[in-house]
Amino acid sequence: MNDNIYNQIKEIKKYALDNKVPIMVDDGIDFLTNFIATNKVENVLEVGTAIGYSAIMMALSNPNVKITTIERDKDRYLEAVKNVKKFSLENRITLIFKDALETSIDGKFDVIFLDAAKGQNIHFFEKFEKNLVEGGTIITDNMNFHGLVGNENETMSRNLRGLIRKIEEYQTYLKNRTDFTVDFLSIGDGIAVATKK
Residues forming the site for ligand SAM (CB under 6 A): 22-24, 48, 50, 53-54, 70-73, 76, 99-101, 115-117
Nearest distance, CB of residue 52 and ligand SAM, angstroms: 7
Using the CB atoms, write b or e for 81-98: b if 16+ within 10 Å: bebbeebebeebbbbbbe
Specify the amino acid at residue 101.
Answer: L
90 vs 176 by CB, closer to ligand SAM: 90
Residue nearest to ligand SAM (CB): 48
* Of 149, 152, 143, 129, residue with least CA distance to 183: 143
Nearest distance, CB of residue 94 and ligand SAM, angstroms: 14
Which letter does DSSP use for residue 76 in this model?
A: H
Q: Check: CB of residue 101 under 8 Å from CB of residue 120.
A: yes
Nearest distance, CB of residue 184 and ligand SAM, angstroms: 18
24 vs 41 by CB, closer to ligand SAM: 24
